[in-house]
Structure 1
Amino acid sequence: MTEIVTRQGRLRGVRRPSGSCAFLGVPFAEPPVGERRFAAPVPHRGWDGVRDATRPGATPQRRQLAEVTLIPEPSVPGESTLNVNVFTPSPDAEGLPVLVWIHGGGFVAGSPASPWYDGAAFNRDGVVTVTVSYRLGFDGFGWIDGAPTNRGVLDWLCALDWVRDNISAFGGDPGRVTIAGQSAGGAAVLTLLGLPAAQGLFTAAHCLSGPIAHITAQQAETFGRALAGRLGVPPTRTDLSTVDESRILAVQRELAPVGEPPADPVAAIAGLAGGLTLGPVIDGDLIKLSTVDSLRTGCGADKPLVLGATDHEFAFGFARARDQLAAVPATDLLSAAGVPDAAGFVAAHPELDTADLLGRYVTDQLFGVAAADIADARGDAPTWLYRFAWPSPVFGQAVHCLDVPFYFDCLDAEGVAAIAGPHPPRDLADEVHAAAVELIKTGDPGWPRTAGKVRVFGQPSGFGEDTFRGARALLTDSARSSSR
């Protein structure tokens, strides 16, 4: 055991055999229950005596999405769900760079308590690591009359405030903070990069497979009113506060079935490619512009950004139905899902069967276009693009979430073999993790920014085609062709 003192009080954590220390379930805000349920987060007032920080704190997640995220992310019961886990090489150190990790899960699930998010490897390399909890689903992002809309975003800001004020007690430097996240966590990173209110709270950003969250105020209000209508209450903070969380979650799953892909492939294509229903909202208050528009103004241009995706992302969902889809022309399915010039898209990929064509479209639309748009919006700001191309022997493709254990260099962790096979390449983990450490320590991942080329992590690794801009060009040309 080991103890340190934060601004809120004394903590007791765990000292590991390597010499590093873990402080788990440290509250950065008061429990979001009762009158605080749909309010902005309230910084934690502190405690008397020594607070035990040897076990993970409560998580907002009430239902896992293991079928979709492929990451083991345990749910922990309890009310004090706004907390952080801190992993440090040594609390006696000074001035170490800091990584703040925001988990994914479609903004409706996910857990900072995943064994994949343990900071052991980053600690080994001299980096203090923080994993953040935040409100999910309707509680975190739903429109409610009389309540702040972006409550989950406010949670991220509150957690980053806590890091600024307390990380030196763990040996970290509050002036050297890199934010990173994958999937919805990557979308969170992009949101914060384009958010003026966040600019003083971090110095670099790393986005893994992050779509762009672009929910409008009207879309958010329409969903909020629909949910309240299903519950039979007015869409006000007072009335919704009387509704049990389990009822809200049940209706949320009906209206926004993230993690439950429909059996109908047309609905799956439209749903996945259409983006998220719950997430950061352009509310005109905290978030005044879309992420891309905000970055075009120069917001976040002083911060290095590493941005990329796996080569096949959500393709595995369609690959599972390869035999059934083989009898259906991809053009018909894509056209029925509203894809402009579906025939042109299919013609551009003659080597792919129907299942892989559907996966290719969703991957390009949701992740490829986002990466290209973000990189271009930043202009000359320091931006590095990458692709994770190593195909999993389990799926035969570089699927969503596959790169996470390589990023954390945790190939022996629980659940990794289920996505990466029994013998994932350790030299690839060395490369991916080392690039992350370089960004955190120096602001540069260690590879040149080459026009028209991106860093490709695979076997072998090297430089390859910028498929992000290529995908965007194809989809844009297809859309123009279909409108003529």
Structure 2
Amino acid sequence: MTAGQVRGFWWGPAGAPGSSAAFLGIPFAEAPVGALRFAAPVPVAPWDGIRDAREYGATAKRAKPGEKTLIPEPAVPGEATLNVNVFTPTPGEDAALPVLVYIHGGGFTEGSPASPWYDGSAFTRDGVVTVTISYRLGFDGFGHIPGAPSNRGVRDWLAALAWVQENIAAFGGDPGHVTIAGQSAGGGAVLTLLGMPAAQGLFHAAWALSPALGDVSGERARTLTAKLAGLLGVDPSRDGFAGVTEADILAQQESVGHTGQSPLDVARGMLQDGLSFGPMIDGDLLARPTIEALRSGLGGDVPLALGATDDEFTMITDGAARVLGLVPPGVALQQLDVPRERRHAWLAANAPQRRKGTAAVVGRYVGDVIFRSTVLRAADARAAAGGAAKTWAYRFTWPSPTIGWACHCLDVPFWFDALGAESVGAIAGDAPSQALADAVHGAAVALIRDGDPGWPAWDPATQPTRVFDLPADGRAPVVFDGYASVRALA
């Protein structure tokens, strides 16, 4: 390694089939504190001797009392939050195995690379070196700060990927065979990197699960900065924000985003404003929105698989089913300020969802705008660009037995083949299908290893789409016009 040696440990008997060595909390940059708090990541200084790497490093996520998330996301205290975790079946060997780099989700304000769902055991079992990375979150990572580099969290992704290029061979990985993947905000990160000039050459394939794009406009970013500075009583500058603690900013950053208490108010805010913090169109790293960048041909030489669950957001509106049941679906979408033509076209394409009630309609619509239409737009943009690499689309349609929908995050333990991990039962039930996990995880391994997940590539005319669900008589694993129900939003 470039900075020094590390000591990990074996999960399972050393060298036995299915065992992997774990190296946790390896810094790829100096702690972003003091003068480095709002700076671009600085390469970590070399160390003497052997550094212990047997515990997860500090996370940018901070603990919130009573917080419950669909994915268990530990908050590890500490300042040195820019670190990577490496899981490998062949530490220290010249094995040149394919590499997976996973970027966690959490709306760019939450999430943790230390989740037990991400330990990479199944991927290392299948001969893939797995890396999970951390990055700065929320305002510290993505907020507009005059006098500070923009998109600090994005710069953290780039620094972590550069670390992989320089160091992964020491863990048995091939730096010329790297796949990036992520879910939700992490899926958005994958697409953002795919369309970013500065990231070209740092990876060679990509998988985006339920991608949520930031693409925050400069105007919105500046407005949020001014609001936050007002709440904190500081000057909206680097010096001003440096004078308040991280805890002070965390306590106020949620207040500057969406407002409103009713389900429709919350949904309207998400649809109109998008995410409060995330990758910003800054004219530097990100010169244009991600879909435009993909349509221009950026990332066109990188194979990409992407998809979403069918009902990403519907579980959120379930709690308002009684109230929303009094409102016709068309009226509810009108109250969300959905234009008439789009409203009618989308409702016509989603008749089965209408029969499930207005709460189901609103939830599906919000999920379609944020997640599923992004899949369609990204696939179409790459096809229009005519790049050399293929694109594959999928849908995860199996409904959670505990939540009732094919909901956000449900596909993650299947993708990692981590059905026995902590808290999976809360979202996937007591007996999740191993056959389904074999299908989803197997497709991921195929893309990582061979550059092809195993079904027909995207064609905008026919929209071939792999459907991940339990086998059923008469149901084809690949359908055509798989994203036709969101075409009105593309």
TM-score over 0.5 for the pair: yes
Kindly tell me: are residues 449 and 69 of structure 1, through their superposed partners in 2, closer, same or farther at Cα, counting changes over 3 Å?
farther
Are the aligned partners of 1:25 and 1:83 in contact in 2 as well (CA < 8 Å)?
Answer: yes
**Secondary structure, aligned partner of 1:200:** coil
Equivalenced residue count is 467
Residues 323 and 228 of structure 1: CA distance in aligned 2, closer, same or farther (over 3 Å): same
Segment of structure 1 superposing worse, 127-136 or 93-102:
93-102
Aligned to 1:3: none
Conserved 8 A contact 2:263-2:320: no
Q: How does 1:122-161 map to 2 (within 5 A)?
A: 122-161=123-162
Which among 359, 367, 371 is matched to residue 375 of structure 2?
371
- Shifted more, 212-221 versus 305-314: the winner is 212-221
Q: What is the alpha-carbon distance in structure 2 between the residues aligned to residue 455 and residue 69 of structure 1?
A: 28
Shift of 1:332: 2.9
Question: Is residue 206–residue 307 contact of structure 1 (8 Å, CA) maintained in 2?
Answer: yes
Q: Alignment partner of 1:163: what SS?
A: helix
Structure-2 separation of matches of 1:368 and 1:466: 13
Aligned to 1:482: none
Task: State the distance in 2 between where 1:339 and 1:194 align.
Answer: 29
Structure 1 equivalent of residue 470 of structure 2:
459
| Whole-angstrom CA distance in 2 between matches of 1:272 and 1:412 | 34
Pair 1:214 & 2:215 matched: yes
Aligned to 2:15: none
Deviation at 1:335, TM superposition (A): 1.6
Quote how far apart the aligned CAs of 1:220 are.
0.9
Q: Secondary structure at the match of 1:43?
A: coil
AA of the residue aligned to 2:414: F
Counting only pairs closer than 5 Å after superposition, residues 41-440 of structure 1 correspond to structure 2 as 41-63=41-63, 69-91=69-91, 92-256=93-257, 263-274=261-272, 275-341=274-340, 342=343, 345-346=346-347, 348=349, 349=351, 350-379=354-383, 380-381=386-387, 382-440=390-448
> What is the one-letter code of the residue matched to 2:46?
G
| Structure-2 change in CA distance of 1:64 and 1:453 (3 Å) | farther
Deviations along 1:315-346, whole A, 9 cap, x unmatched?
10111332332223333332222111246644
CA–CA distance in structure 2, aligned partners of residues 303 and 146 of structure 1: 35
Q: Contact (CA 8 Å) 1:211, 1:370: kept in 2 or not?
A: yes
Question: Matches of 1:64 and 1:204 in 2, distance apart?
Answer: 35
The C-alpha deviation readout for 1:233-281, integer Å capped at 9, x for no partner, is 1111112111111111111011126xxx964011121133342110001
| One-letter amino acid of the counterpart of residue 376, structure 1 | D
Matching residue's letter, 1:417: G
Aligned residue identity for 2:221 = A
After alignment, is 361-370 or 126-135 more displaced? 361-370
Q: Quickly say closer, same or farther: Cα 1:467–1:270, change in 2 above 3 A.
A: farther
The offset of 1:467, in angstroms, is: 4.2
Helix, strand or coil: the match of 1:223?
helix
SS of the residue 2:8 aligns to: strand
Q: Percent identity?
A: 56
Whole-Å Cα distance in 1 between the matches of residues 291 and 129 of structure 2? 30
Following TM superposition, the consecutive aligned residue runs of length 4 or more in structure 1 with deviations greater than 3 angstroms are 63-69, 342-348
Q: Distance in 1 between matches of 2:319 and 2:414?
A: 24
Flag the 1:459–1:66 CA change in 2: closer, same or farther, 3 A. Answer: farther
Q: Which runs of 5+ in 1 are unaligned?
A: 1-5, 477-484
Aligned to 2:299, what secondary structure does the other structure show?
Answer: coil
1:389/1:398 contact within 8 Å kept: yes
Q: Which moved more, 1:407-416 or 1:271-280?
A: 271-280
Q: Deviations over 1:372-429 (max 9, x none)?
A: 1111111244100000011111112100000000000000000100000000000000
Structure 2 CA distance, aligned partners of 1:472 and 1:269?
20
Answer whether contact 2:101 2:180 (CA < 8 A) is retained. yes
- Structure 1: which amino acid aligns with 2:415? Y
Give the match for residue 471 of structure 1: 486
Query: Which letter maps to 2:470?
Result: Q
Secondary structure of the equivalent of 2:200? Answer: helix
Alignment partners' CA distance in 2, 1:97 and 1:27: 22
Q: Deviations over 1:430-449 (max 9, x none)?
A: 00001000100111111122
> Which whole-Å deviations, capped at 9, do the CAs of 1:281-311 have from their partners, x for residues lacking one?
1100111111111111111000000010001
2:19 matched residue in structure 1: 19
Shift of 1:347: 5.2
| DSSP 3-state at the match of 1:215 | coil
User: What amino acid is aligned across from residue 465 of structure 2 in structure 1?
Assistant: V
Q: 1:93 offset after TM fit, Å?
A: 4.6
Secondary structure (helix, strand or coil) at the match of 1:368 reads: helix
